[in-house]
């Protein structure tokens, strides 16, 4: 039996074993809940909450019962702006003692996700966390073990695997039309957030903020990475941001990461906070080939970013070398849908495509990239996730 086959079997086994544990905790919510909505509490009422709240409000299975921010006026402002029938809180301890809820949605500065997620799990709450769910892979794994020991669910952004374009690309790869795969290039960047310093402080950086999307997409398509080599740098040494004025940049704002997958396939992720983008932060009409996949009998390119998808092109032996445009319909997919999708899945007692072990794998990639850049060494990974995802 080749290494590849035994690895595949291992993944299938772990996927099945994982699914059994996960389903039991899902069923425990669905069966005990009757017709009640899933009650969610949002912590962190800054920029991204402005996309999450209206998305959650489109669900008839979810209700937002709490809003919390250490800048309390932001919780009040969100309640008013979006007309949310929720209690507001100054901090997590107050919120955990307040109105009961089922799932916390963590939308704060990246560096404090881990501590907040741990507190919520300890208080028997399910958790959806913006990326990263913890500051290290080990801490993230510990959170997952904690969640499982309490029959709770823990989930991590991003939601890129939900897009119809991800599904199309995954199926195209599995159909064999591209032949033997060898390489991929992925990129995402802009000139960096201007509102908060945490993006540039230790534990922040362009990898957990931006590269994370590409890492989730390419491992979702090619399977778990075995090892990582990377170079990261700081190009802009100082920035001026709304909350702290002039700051020293401590986290990488420029990163190139090489991922080694099974079957000697190598992919590359490039991300940074110094990329001019004429389409701006929202990137709605961006048609850049942000994911490019190369095989011996065909190539495939994603138009736009993997979180804001606009279509997929394929040229292959099968298309006689003609470039064909496919999958231009987003089918309702939006990057901010993750918490809504997992919340509704819990309510219905079904397993969504988003998988926490996948998010943990991406966290391990980010940590390995930092280690590789600092040491000049290739770093082996240990985490895996159920794959293929579609
Ligand atoms: N802004 C975006 O477009 C966007 C998109 C996708 C993902 N994200 C992710 O969302 C997260 C938040 O980003 P943002 O842009 O909204 O940042 P932000 O600075 O606008 O908002 C963060 C909020 O969290 C609050 N906060 C910090 N620590 C807290 C604590 N201990 N308890 C309660 N509240 C606390 C801050 O006061 C602030 O209001 C990050 O992980 C980021 O990577 C942001």
Same domain, 196 and 319: yes
Q: How far apart are CA 154 and CA 142, in angstroms?
A: 11
pTM tops 0.85: yes
Q: What residue's CA is closest to ligand 1, atom 37?
A: 71
State in Å, rounded, how far the first CA of the chain is from the last one. Answer: 25
241-265: pLDDT as tens digits: 999 999 999 999 999 999 999 999 9
Q: Which atom of ligand 1 is nearest to the CA of 68?
A: 33
Residues 122 and 211 in one domain: no
- The partner residues of 285 in beta bridges, in order of sequence, read none
- 149 and 194 in a single domain? The answer is no
Are residues 84 and 117 located together in one domain of the fold?
A: yes
Number of compact structural domains in the chain: 2
Q: CA-CA distance, 165 to 217, in Å (whole number)?
A: 10
Looking at the fold, whether 143 and 82 belong to one and the same domain comes out as yes
Q: Are residues 255 and 284 in the same domain?
A: yes
Mean pLDDT by 10 residues, the chain (390 residues): 37 42 50 77 98 98 98 98 98 98 98 98 98 98 98 98 98 98 98 98 98 98 98 98 98 98 98 93 89 98 96 98 97 97 97 98 98 98 97
In a domain, 386, yes or no: no
CATH number for 322: 3.30.360.10
> Rounded to whole angstroms, how far apart are CA atoms 92 and 270?
35
CA of 346 to the centre of ligand 1 (A): 24
Position 387 in a domain: no
Ligand 1 mean position to 48 CA, how many Å? 6
Q: Is 195 in the pocket of ligand 1 (CB under 6 A)?
A: yes
pLDDT tens figures, 331-370? 999 999 999 999 999 999 999 999 999 999 999 999 999 9
Give the closest residue (by CA) to ligand 1 atom 1. 48
Asked whether residue 22 falls in the same domain as residue 74, the answer is yes
- Considering the domain boundaries, does residue 100 fall inside one? yes
Q: Are residue 185 and residue 57 in the same domain, yes or no?
A: no
Closest CA to ligand 1's atom 18? 46
Same structural domain, 276 and 374: yes
Which residues constitute the domain of residue 260?
A: 160-333+360-380
250 and 106 in a common domain: no
Residue 10 pairs in a beta bridge with none
The CATH number of residue 121's host domain is 3.40.50.720
To test the pocket of ligand 1, the residue of 42, 43, 47, 362 to mutate (highest count of ligand atoms within 8 Å of its CB) is 47
Is residue 390 situated within a structural domain?
Answer: no
61 with 164, same domain: the answer is no
Same domain, 173 and 109: no
- Residue 131 in any domain: the answer is yes
Q: Is residue 77 part of a domain?
A: yes
Strand 298-305 relative to strand 289-295: parallel, antiparallel, unpaired?
Answer: antiparallel
């Amino acid at each position: 039996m080749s290494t590849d086959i035994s690895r595949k079997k291992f993944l299938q086994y772990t996927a099945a074993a994982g699914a059994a544990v996960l389903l039991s905790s899902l069923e425990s919510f669905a069966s005990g809940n009757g017709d009640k909505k899933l009650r969610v509490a949002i912590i962190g009422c800054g920029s991204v909450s402005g996309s999450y709240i209206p998305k959650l409000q489109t669900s008839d299975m979810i209700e937002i019962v709490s809003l919390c921010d250490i800048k309390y006026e932001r919780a009040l402002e969100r309640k008013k702006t979006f007309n949310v029938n929720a209690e507001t809180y100054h901090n997590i301890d107050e919120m955990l003692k307040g109105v009961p809820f089922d799932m916390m949605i963590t939308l704060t500065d990246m560096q404090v996700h881990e501590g907040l997620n741990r507190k919520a799990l300890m208080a028997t709450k399910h958790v959806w966390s913006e990326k990263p769910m913890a500051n290290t892979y080990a801490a993230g794994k510990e959170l997952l073990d904690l969640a499982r020991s309490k029959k709770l669910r823990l989930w991590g952004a991003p939601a890129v695997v939900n897009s119809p374009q991800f599904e199309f690309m995954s199926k195209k790869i599995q159909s064999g039309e591209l032949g033997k795969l060898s390489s991929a290039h992925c990129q995402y960047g802009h000139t960096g957030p201007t509102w908060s310093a945490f993006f540039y402080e230790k534990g922040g950086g362009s990898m957990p903020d931006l590269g994370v999307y590409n890492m989730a997409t390419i491992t979702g398509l090619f399977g778990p990475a075995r090892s990582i080599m990377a170079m990261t740098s700081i190009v802009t040494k100082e920035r001026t941001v709304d909350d702290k004025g002039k700051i020293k940049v401590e986290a990488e704002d420029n990163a190139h990461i090489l991922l080694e997958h099974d079957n000697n396939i190598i992919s590359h992720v490039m991300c940074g906070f110094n990329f001019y983008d004429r389409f701006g932060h929202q990137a709605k009409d961006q048609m850049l080939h942000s994911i490019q996949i190369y095989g011996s009998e065909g190539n495939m390119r994603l138009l736009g970013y993997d979180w804001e998808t606009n279509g997929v092109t394929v040229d292959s032996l099968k298309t006689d070398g003609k470039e064909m445009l496919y999958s231009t319909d987003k089918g309702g997919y939006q990057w901010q849908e993750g918490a809504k999708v997992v919340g509704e899945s819990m309510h219905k007692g079904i397993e969504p495509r988003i998988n926490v072990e996948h998010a943990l794998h991406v966290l391990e990639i980010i940590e390995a990239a930092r280690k590789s850049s600092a040491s000049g060494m290739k770093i082996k990974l240990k985490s895996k996730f159920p794959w293929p995802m579609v």
